[in-house]
Structure 1
Amino acid sequence: MSTTSYREIWSEGLWHNNVVLSQMLALCPLMAVTTTASNGLGMGLATLVVMLFSNMLVSMLRGIITPQVRIPVFIVLIAAMVTMVDMFLNAWMHELYKVLGLFIPLIVTNCAILGRVESFASKNRVAPSLFDGFAMGVGFTWVLVVLGAIREFFGSGTLFADASLLLGHWASVIEMDVFPNYGGTLLLILPPGGFICLGLMLAGKRVADRVIAARESIRNEQTGTAMEGTA
């Protein structure tokens, strides 16, 4: 696969075909765990690991998985990856595990993972499939972190609260109490606030896409004019 194709996979995962901002998938964990940026980061990284290894396994086994049983097999493989991640968090990051709770096992039901396994990993080699899983996972993670940071900042007056539970004691340096005496805005912590913030992010993406498209159109026109002048 060419470098250009890898670049396209990266841009698709991060922006153009983003799991949340474009596909509107995984909204249940998105609303439930993004009360803080740290929780969003934890869920995003867990999903990234599952997407990465699920894509890898399906790509490796695509030659022996028959079309008739592919969906059950894909679900079993994804469930196995989720179980391993769930056990790892329970053993090594138990405090974070208690915060994320039921939403770790529910990664199995994330349609974005099954969708990428079906549409990409089952049709491509291992290296591109791994990169696709990584790109989609990073795209999902940054949306969770940004949404969690917005809700946490305006809802609680903090940023990356309890990050040390996820990243270790060194992460206490990024835990910020921005407004020490801030009473908080309950609306933003509750699911309606999550939908409001997500709506603003979706609107921002639409505006950014239009600006990018307009600039590309102007650039193409200038390039065409320059080529005509040279001719």
Structure 2
Amino acid sequence: MNKSFLVQNSLMLAPLIGATGSLMTAVGITLTFIMVTSVFALCMNALRPRLLPATHLLANVLLAATLTSCAELGAQLWSLQWHQDLGIYAGLVALQCVVLDCTGFFQRTWPARLRLYGLFGALMVGLGLLRELIGRGTFGSHLSWLTNASPAHWEGWILTTDGGLRLTTLAPGGFILLGLLIALWQIWHRPTP
């Protein structure tokens, strides 16, 4: 485990905790991350040979901010509620693009990139699903945001009538749930003596 691996993964912690209060928000930030970083990688791979080494960081910042802003405008056009629920976390994708490029992530092979995309997506969607199930007692409560369906009163599939444990939809509850999941993972993969 090297230093760049820790930097890449620690930057993904903020959207993992902040943007997984519901399943649709987690799916939204995952789609934004995959789409923006893929286009960023293609553009930077085309631009990198034409840039001076001193201008790489400036080009990274400008391109990442532009692509993230375009993705946010597209999300706002598609569904305003979905965009508002994403909040500031969609803007963090630009910072992730810059850090991933500075650590050499986009020079890796496609399977290595797809592994990170899959891991990030699975963590986001899994934690979003758990937080929505435990916190709201529903499944797919904001599905109309993603599908842009007309009924705004769609409540999803209600699993509990009392609404669940509200703490898990907040950021502290996300940290607690993530800590419990990590502890379960370590217990499950503990080597037997």
TM-score exceeds 0.5:
yes
Match of 2:182 among 195, 202, 222: 202
Q: Give the residue type in structure 2 aligned to 1:189.
A: T
Q: 1:87 is matched with which residue: 73, 83, 87?
A: 73
* Equivalent pairs, count: 185
Aligned partners of 2:60 and 2:98 also within 8 Å: yes
**In 2, distance between residues paired with 1:69 and 1:208?**
47
Aligned match of 1:120 in 105, 110, 118?
105
CA RMSD in angstroms comes to: 3.0
Residues 84-126 of structure 1, C-alpha deviations (whole Å, 9 max, x = no match) = 101111112222112213322232233xx323323132x45xx
Runs of 4+ in 1 over 6 A off after TM superposition: 17-20
The residue identity in structure 2 corresponding to 1:78 is A
Q: How many angstroms apart in 2 are the aligned matches of 1:52 and 1:133?
A: 9
Residue of structure 1 equivalent to 2:62: 76
Structure number with bigger Rg: 1
How far residue 48 of structure 1 moved from its aligned partner, in angstroms, is 1.0
| Partner AA of 2:87 in structure 1 | G
Report if the CA contact (8 A) 1:36-1:151 is conserved. yes
Q: How does 1:99-114 map to 2 (within 5 A)?
A: 99-110=85-96, 113-114=97-98
Which position in structure 2 is the counterpart of 1:163?
143
Does residue 67 of structure 1 match 2:53? yes
Contact 1:48 1:137 in 2 (8 A): yes
TM-score by length of 1: 0.68
CA contact (8 A) 1:34 1:147 kept: yes
1:164-207 CA distance string (max 9 Å, x none): 2113449x99932111x124212212211100111123334445
Return closer, same or farther for 1:167/1:64 CA change in 2, 3 Å cut-off. Answer: same
Gaps of 5+ in 2: none
Per the alignment, in what secondary structure is the counterpart of residue 30 of structure 1? helix
Partner of 1:178: 159
What is the alpha-carbon distance in structure 2 between the residues aligned to residue 33 and residue 81 of structure 1?
Answer: 19
Shift of 1:132: 4.9
Q: 1:160 to 1:104 in 2, by over 3 A?
A: same
Distance 2:136 2:54 in 1: 50
Task: Report the Cα distance in structure 2 between the residues aligned to 1:56 and 1:98, rounded to whole angstroms.
Answer: 28
Contact 1:48 1:136 in 2 (8 A): no
Among 118, 123, 130, the residue aligned to 1:143:
123
Q: Which runs of 5+ in 1 are unaligned?
A: 1-16, 215-231
